[in-house]
Amino acid sequence: MINSEYLEKLNKFQKEAVLHTSGPLLIVAGAGSGKTKVLTSRIANIVEKNLAFPNEILAVTFTNKAAREMQNRVSSILKKRAVGLPWLGTFHSICAKILRKHAKAVNLTQSFTIIDQDDQQRLIKNICKSKNIDVKKISPNFILALINKWKNSGWYPKNVKISRGQILEKNMLEVYKVYQEKLIDLNACDFGDLILHCVKIFEENQDINKIYSKKFKYILVDEYQDTNYIQSKWLKHLTLLHNNICCVGDDDQSIYSWRGAEIKNFLEFDKVYENTKIIRLEDNYRSTQNILNVASHLISNNENRLGKKLNSNKIEGEKIKLNCFRNGKDEAIGVSDIIENELKKKYSYNNIAILVRAIFQTREFEERFLKIGLPYRILGGTKFYERAEIKNCIAYLRVVQHERDDLAFERIVNVPKRSIGESSFKQINEYARKNNLSLEIASQNLISQNLIKPKTKLGLLSFLNMVKKWRNDHSIKKINHVKLLQIILDESGYSASLKDKKDLENENRLENIKELLSAMKEFDNLESFLEHVSLATSIDQQWEGEKINLMTMHASKGLEFDAVFLPCWEEGMFPHQKSIDEKGQSGLEEERRLAYVGITRAKDLSFISFSLNRFYQGDWIDSLSSRFVDELPEKFIEKNNNLERDDQDFDFNQDIDNDNENFRSPGWIRYQKRLK
C-alpha cells in the first residue's frame, strides 16, 4: 500500500510542483525549502498515477549519495510497490550506461575502460615527454583542467578555437589531439568523454536519439544550477519527444563556475524550453527568519538572478552577530570563547561549524582549538599541519635542525625532483643501516667513495651542500627561522616548482605556505616552533567523538548546522580578489552567492566577523571590512566590538614544558583527561 500521506505533508507550492506533470518545469528551490522531498514525491506521484513506469523515468543527480537518498525516499513512500529506478544516478553513470550500448558509434567497444585521474596524468606525462614538454613547468593537472574545460564546452580537438597569440593553448591543443587518439587506441575514455560522446552519438544518429527521448517520459534533474554546457545540451537532446523535464535548483547557490558550471543554464531555462512553468519554493524549514532576512537582503544585490523571498517556519530567532576584532589571533580567541562559554552548553560540537573562504584560513582556529582543547575536524580537506606542502616545509626545517632526522631527510631529499630515484635511495638506506649511520652521513660517504651513479650524485651533492649552507645561515649568521624557511623555499626550488605548475591545487599550496610563514612569526625560535608542531599533531590525533567542523564555504553546500561562524570577511579575502580580477562583475556575484550559501547553513545562530589587521603572507596588513558587511541589513544585525582583548590570553608557546611539570596549557590538561 502506498503511503498516501506524502502529499499531505507538502506545502502549497511543493504540492503544486509535485502534481504538475505536463511540460517543462523549473523549481526555484531556496535554501532549506525541501527540494529533495519535492523530487522524490514527484517521482512517487508519477509511478502511483501510472503516468510512467519506473524505467521510463530519468532522474539525474550530481553525487551517488544524492541518488541513494532519492531512491530510499521514493521506496519509503511507495512501500510495497517500491521498485528500483534503473535510470536514477549521476550524469556520468547514466551516460556510461548509454555509451556501453552504442560505443561503436564513437569508435569504442562495449568493454571500454573508464580511466581515472591517475591514469589520465600518466597518459598526459607520456604525451608531454614525446613532445618535449617539461611537466615540471606545465603540470599534467593544468593540462587536464584545460582539456576538461574544452570537453565541458562540448569541444573535441577539431572544434577548439585558439585565438592568435595563445601559444600555450595552441601547444596544449596538440596534446589534446594526441590524448584523444590514445584513448581510442586504448579503448578507453575519461569522465568528460562519457557525456561528450553521448551528445555526439545523439547528434550524429537521430534514430538513437529518438530511442531515448521516447523512452524517458519524465526527466528530473537535481541541482540544475551546477550544470555545465555539455550537460544541458545532453538533457536537451533527451527532451526531443516528451519534453517533460523538471529541473530543481537555486540560482542563488550557483558557486561552482570554476568547475565549469554555467548559471545561465538556470536563468535561461524558460528560453530553452518553451512554455516553462516556474514554481518558487520559498518556505524554509532550516533557519530562523532573522537569518533568512539577512541572507535575502545580501543576495538581492546580485543582478543576475530569478529572485525569491525566503520565509521561515521557525521563530524570528536571534539577530546575526557581527563581530569586529583587532586581528586574526583575537578572532580565533573570540570564536573559541563563544563556543566555550555559550554554545557548548546548548549544542553538540558536531552541530557547530566554522566556514572560511580559503582553506589556509583554518590555521589560526586550529592553533587556538589545540591550545584550549577543543576537538575539531576538517571537512573536505586536511588539517593544516598534515597538508603535504606544510609537512615538506617542516621536514626541511627538521633536517636543518637535526642531521640525524632520517624521516625528514627521506621525505624531502628528492622534493623537488633531484634525480634521486627509488633504487638510489634504497642504496643509501642499506648503506646507512649496515654502517649504523644517518641517511645524511651515509649519502656523504657514498659520494666520497664514488659509489653513486653520476646523475644521482649531482642531485644528492647539491642537496647536501644546500643543507650545509642553511645550517650555517641559521647557526652562524643567526638568520631567524622565518627568513630561513624563505631562503630554503627559494634555494631548494620548492616554491618555483609550485609556481610553475599553474593549477588551482598548487595555488592553494602556496597560500598554505604563506600562512605557515605567518604562523612561524608567533614563535621565538626554530626549536620552539618545531616543538609546537610536533605536540600539536600528536595531541590532536588522540581526539575522538564529537568535533567542531571546519571547512570552506564551498564544501559546506548542502549541509546545515545549529550554529555557524563566518570569519575573515575582509576585502580581498572575501570577496576574493582573484575572482574579481578574473571575472569582474560575474565573479563578484558568485562570491556574494557564496556568502549566501554560508549564511543559510545556520539553523539557529550565525556569527560573521572581520579583523582590522591580519598577518598575511608574512606581513601585517590593514584590513577593510568586506563590502558584503556593508550590505548586511542593520535591522537584523547585532554589532559587537572586540578591540580591548588582552593579548596574553593567546600564547602560542604555552604547550611547551617550560621545565615546570605543573605548567601546562588548558589544551594539555584536557588532553591528559581524555587519556585517563
The residues annotated as belonging to the active site are 35-36, 222-223, 253, 601
Q: How far is 541 from 375, CA to CA, in rounded Å?
A: 10
Q: How far is 522 from 56, CA to CA, in rounded Å?
A: 63
Q: How far is 224 from 138, CA to CA, in rounded Å?
A: 33
Which residues are CB-neighbours of 94 under 8 A, at least 6 positions away? 58, 60, 87
53: which 3 cell numbers?
Answer: 513506469
Helix (H) or strand (E) holding 639: strand 637-642
Q: How far is 610 from 3, CA to CA, in rounded Å?
A: 49
Residue 89 main-chain phi, psi, to 5 deg: 175, -170
What string of DSSP letters covers 385-442? GGSHHHHHHHHHHHHHH-TT-HHHHHHHTTSS--S--HHHHHHHHHHHHHTT--HHHH
In this structure, are residues 253 and 239 in contact, taking their beta carbons and an 8 Å threshold?
A: no
In this structure, are residues 464 and 496 in contact, taking their beta carbons and an 8 Å threshold?
A: no
3-state secondary structure of 318: coil
Q: How far is 353 from 338, CA to CA, in rounded Å?
A: 12
Q: Considering just the CA atoms, what is the radius of gyration of the chain in Å?
A: 28
Q: How far is 563 from 552, CA to CA, in rounded Å?
A: 15
Q: How far is 556 from 606, CA to CA, in rounded Å?
A: 14
In this structure, are residues 34 and 281 in contact, taking their beta carbons and an 8 Å threshold?
A: yes
Q: How far is 77 from 2, CA to CA, in rounded Å?
A: 6
Beta pairing, strands 311-312 & 320-327: unpaired
Q: How far is 391 from 638, CA to CA, in rounded Å?
A: 41
Cα 503 to Cα 38, 292, 509: the distances in Å are 39, 36, 10
Adjacent-strand bridge partners of 220: 59, 246
Q: How far is 97 from 102, CA to CA, in rounded Å?
A: 9
In this structure, are residues 362 and 430 in contact, taking their beta carbons and an 8 Å threshold?
A: no
Three-state SS sequence of 503-570: CHHHHHHHHHHHHHHHHHCCCCCHHHHHHHHHHHHHHHCCCCCCCEEEEEHHHHCCCCEEEEEECCCE
Cα 474 to Cα 440, 467, 485, 495: the distances in Å are 18, 11, 10, 20
> Hey, what amino acid is at 438?
S
Cα 53 to Cα 47, 215, 244, 292: the distances in Å are 6, 10, 14, 39
Q: How far is 656 from 536, CA to CA, in rounded Å?
A: 10
Q: Calculate the CA 232 to chain-centre distance.
A: 23
Sheet strand arrangement including 277-281: 88-90, 57-61, 218-221, 245-249, 25-29, 277-281
Q: How far is 412 from 395, CA to CA, in rounded Å?
A: 7
In this structure, are residues 225 and 263 in contact, taking their beta carbons and an 8 Å threshold?
A: yes
124: which 3 cell numbers?
Answer: 598526459
